[in-house]
Amino acid sequence: MTHGHAPGKVILVGEHAVVYGRPAIAVPVTDVRADVIVEDTNGRPGVTIHAEDIGRVIDVCSAPLQEPLSLTVRNALGHIGMDVQRVQLSLTIRSSIPVASGMGSGAAIAAAMVRALAAHLNYPLDRAIISSIVYETEKIHHGTPSGIDNTVVVFEQPVYFRRGWPIATFDVKRPFWLAIGDTGVPSLTKAAVSDVRAAWQRDPERYDGIFDQIGALVDAARQAIESGHVEVLGALMDENQRLLRHLDVSSPELEALIASARQEGARGAKLSGGGRGGSVIAVIEPEDAETISRALVAVGARKVIVTRVG
């Protein structure tokens, strides 16, 4: 029996613009995670996946080629140099990461699967390889993913990400706290990304201008975090949210949580991820965590996670 795990994540600043070559910052959320157990079986050859949280049992050999969990297994075994029909394995998946909430549930589950398989088969994989395998699964979930989700859940550090640039993890000089409120409305990232792309194609000058503004906010946020001036981070997040509204990826549920967090003393708040549902993140003082959490639940949050960054 071998275990693998990976944390959740939130995009702090930069979502959507990151698809168009601008930077984004994402941070791991270690308070929630995906766990995978791999065991040998004595049954017929192949791999069986038990996805307990969604009540599914998947036979990898007979599953559709584009089924995400099966694809992850096939890609991981292929990289290791093993044929799925020549192993006898069972994978059990459990996750405390809210699904379709902008917290990287799909990437975390895939990363935990790859880690568990590699460890069980005694074939160490470095993080860059694991991230590349998970990225292939992300294509199924999101269509044209930026690559930021797989990067941050695999490296488990704050990441400054820009497509085509070397991976840049960085240190947090002064810790800060986030309250993450899940609207309970699924965030369909693939649809939101597709709609933004269609709008960009109709009016590239306008949308490139918005993406440039978001990219500048990301650079300012990294400087603030690395220098310990986290008090300015909230204002940068508020401005990022204003620009995301122009991309038409907010929603009434998100706006209600953002307004409530700000009213109760959050330094700043914004959606995180694809939008139109999913989660809101707010920069808070730790002493305000209980008050802000209660306020978010009162206006509709299904779940609130308070996490320390750094």
**261 with 292: CB under 8 angstroms?**
yes
CA distance 227 to 208: 29
Amino acid of residue 219: D
CA distance 90 to 2: 11
Sheet holding 279-284, edge to edge: 268-272, 279-284, 176-182, 303-309
Tens digit of pLDDT for each residue in 24-47? 999 999 999 999 999 999 888 999
Whether 264 has a pLDDT exceeding 90, the answer reads: yes
Any idea which residue has 């693939």 for tokens? 190
The pLDDT, as a whole number, for residue 187 is: 87
Any idea which residue has 């709008």 for tokens? 199
Nearest to 61 by CA among 92, 88, 34: 88
The pLDDT, as a whole number, for residue 301 is: 97
CA distance 310 to 175: 5
Domain ranges of the chain: 2-168, 172-309
DSSP H or E stretch at residue 7: strand 2-13
Residue 187: how many other CB atoms lie within 10 Å:
27
Tens digit of pLDDT for each residue in 118-171? 999 999 999 999 999 999 999 998 787 888 899 999 999 999 999 889 889 898
The pLDDT, as a whole number, for residue 30 is: 94
Q: How confident is the model at residue 239 (pLDDT cuts 50, 70, 90)?
A: very high
Any idea which residue has 């959050």 for tokens? 266
The CATH T-level fold of domain 2-168 is Ribosomal Protein S5; domain 2 (3.30.230)
DSSP H or E stretch at residue 199: helix 189-202
CA distance 218 to 33: 26
Q: How confident is the model at residue 115 (pLDDT cuts 50, 70, 90)?
A: very high
CA distance 185 to 194: 19
CA distance 273 to 280: 9
Tens digit of pLDDT for each residue in 72-100? 999 999 999 999 999 999 999 999 999 88
Residue 189: how many other CB atoms lie within 10 Å:
26
**Positive or negative torsion for Cα 103, 107, 111, 113:** positive
pTM for the structure as a whole: 0.89
The pLDDT, as a whole number, for residue 188 is: 84
The CATH T-level fold of domain 172-309 is Alpha-Beta Plaits (3.30.70)
**What integer is the mean pLDDT of 182-199?**
93
